Amino acid sequence: MKTDDLIHLLAKDARVRVRFDYIFLIALAIGVTISAVLLLSTLGIRANMAEAIETPRVIFKLGLTLLLAIVSTRLALRVGKPGASLRSATLALVLPLAVLIVGIATELLVVPPGAWRTSLGGQFPSFCLFFVPTLSIAPLAALLYSVRQGAPEHPGLAGAATGLAAGGIAASIYAWHCPDDSPLFLATWYLIGIGMVTAAGFLLGRRVLRW
Amino acid sequence: MNHSAREEQWAAWMCAAMAGDTLAYDRFLKAVTPYLRSIARRRCDQFGAPPSEVEDVVQDVLLAIHLKRGTWDISRPVGPWLSTIVRNKLIDSLRRRGRPVSVPIEDVMETLVADHHDDGADRVDVDRMLEGLRDPQREIVRSISLGGAGIRETAEKLKMTEGAVRVALHRALKGLATLYRSDRLENG
């Protein structure tokens, strides 16, 4: 085919029906909804949430997971757009990390050393390890699909960013059920769960995010 | 025309194109192509790829620009976006031929002169490309690209609505991009 013929052909398809941002937001909404419904229909929100939400540790847990979900989702959106600077979005990841460190430090000051172990172990670490990855399946699939419509420069890294976002979303949803409120628990089991999803995102991204 | 004026002109055309202005899009693609050709030719020379592959790479990059244009933010300059797409596709294209390369980003678009010379090579045989498409996509591509018809004429000829022709054309272009890639793999 001659290049001019191809240009002629492309020009006839000028209009962009859906922008990448829009595809991404729709995928995000679908992923979040499926996971939220999944949590509500299986485990449900913890029974004593009305009182619990007033305690600092629960506020911390819900706030931190939501913060991680937001900054990592922002990064995932940007990795799909060529030429968009990733610097501020990547630096923003330091924010939840800093909040977590402050939380851990506070916990270690407030809780006597003898109780650290119990705080860290919590009641249901295996639930956390199972549900964070499970609740991330729908957001991960939806976000990977949308980033695939974009033009990520590095498929593996883009996949990892997408996985981190999906893991953050799953954590912020699971936090509404999870009865373990210690920042030490959060820093251990949530982080392992989110790490698993990020690794899965990296491996999947290398395969499906090439274009 | 200096560098930034050129970029602003391209951005204006692209912006109008995304809203559906086919003429602006035609201008944009025709303005960009000589630059793409110049980059492609230089890279092919450098890595010993036959010159006949240049036009293939150009077409491959054009298709990528086309299919990924929804990722361009109209509020941002078009240059960095375009450079990233071109660089990525160029690396991908050359790697498929077993030539792992890196293309420095500053190499792309900024420093280049336009190469208007099209040696008319069309290594990817039209008929073979079209075989890879199904009807009505194949008929639409044939009618528009080879017959020079517009959307409306094509719709009348094939007794389809204009909307259906547009949708089928978009699918056909996605299909062509896939065909280019698989064609590479076979030949690489």
User: Same domain, yes or no, for B98 and B20?
Assistant: yes
> Percent of chain B having pLDDT more than 90?
20
Walk along chain A (211 residues) and give the pLDDT tens digit of each residue. Answer: 788 888 988 998 988 988 999 999 999 999 999 999 999 999 999 888 888 888 899 999 999 999 999 999 999 999 999 888 899 999 999 999 999 999 999 999 999 998 898 889 888 999 999 999 999 999 999 999 999 999 998 999 999 999 999 999 999 999 999 999 999 999 999 999 999 999 999 999 999 998 8
pLDDT of B111 above 80: no
How many structural domains comprise chain B?
2
Number of inter-chain CB pairs under 8 A, A vs B: 120
- pLDDT confidence tier of residue B148, bands split at 50, 70 and 90: confident
Residues B19 and B90 placed together within one structural domain of the fold:
yes
Number of other CB atoms surrounding residue B187 within 10 Å: 12
How many other C-beta atoms can be found within 10 angstroms of the C-beta atom of residue B135? 9
Do B51 and B101 belong together in one domain? yes
User: Which of these, A199, A146, A191, A177, lies nearest to A21 by C-alpha position?
Assistant: A146
Q: Do B73 and A84 touch (CB under 8 A)?
A: yes
CA distance B43 to B94: 8
Residues B103 and B15 in one domain: yes
B108 and B61 within one domain: yes
Distance CA A98, CA A95 (A): 5
What's the pLDDT at A52? 85
User: Are A7 and B30 within 8 A, CB to CB?
Assistant: yes
- Supply the pLDDT for residue B132: 80
Are B18 and A14 inside 8 Å of each other by CB? yes
Partner residue opposite A14 with nearest CB, options B20, B55, B120: B20
- Which residues from A are below 8 Å from B145, CB to CB? 1, 5-6, 8-9
> Distances in Å between the alpha carbon of B7 and those of A19, A57, B30, B40, B113?
21, 52, 14, 20, 14
Both B39 and B81 in one domain: the answer is yes
Same structural domain for residues B25 and B55?
yes
Summarize the confidence of residues B107-114 as an average pLDDT.
63
- Mean pLDDT in chain B? 81
Instruction: Please say if the pLDDT value at position B124 is more than 60.
Output: no
Indicate whether B118 and B128 sit together in one domain. Answer: no
| Chain B partners within 8 Å of A3 (Cβ) | 33, 55, 58-59, 62, 118
pLDDT at position A211 is 82
pLDDT digit string, tens, across residues B54-80: 888 888 899 999 999 999 988 888 988
Interface test with B, best of A4, A12, A23 (most B CBs within 10 A): A12
Partner-chain contact B70 A18, CB within 8 Å: yes
Asked if pLDDT for residue B30 goes beyond 90, the answer is yes
* Residue B146 vs residue A62, higher pLDDT: A62
Q: Does A126 touch chain B (CB under 8 A)?
A: no
Residue B185 pLDDT grade (very low, low, confident, very high; cuts 50, 70, 90)? very low
How far does CA A140 lie from the centroid of its chain? 8
- Alpha-carbon span A186 to A190, nearest angstrom: 5
Q: Kindly report, residue by residue over B125-140, the tens digit of the pLDDT.
A: 666 777 888 888 888 8
Give which of B21, B13, B62, B137 is closest to A2, Cα–Cα.
B62
Select the residue of A11, A23, A150 nearest B26 (Cβ to Cβ): A11
Residue of B nearest to A82 (CA): B81
Range of the domain at B137: 124-188
Per-residue pLDDT, B118: 62
Which CATH number covers residue B186? 1.10.10.10
- Pick the last residue of a domain from B92, B122, B152: B122
Chain B residues with CB-CB distance to A21 below 8 A: 73
pLDDT reading at B109 higher than 60: yes
Tell me, yes or no, whether B23 and B58 share the same domain: yes
Chain B residues with CB inside 8 Å of A83's CB?
Answer: 72, 76, 79-84
Residue B177 in this model has a pLDDT that exceeds 60? yes
Clarify whether residues B164 and B115 are in a common domain.
no
Pair B141, B177 in one domain: yes
Q: Which of B122, B145, B161 is the last residue of a domain?
A: B122
ipTM of the prediction greater than 0.95, yes or no:
no
Are B68 and A150 inside 8 Å of each other by CB? yes
d(CA B6, CA A57) in angstroms, rounded, equals: 56
* Final residue of a structural domain among B76, B94, B122: B122
Helices (H) and strands (E) in chain B, counts: 8, 0
Domain match, B65 and B149 both: no
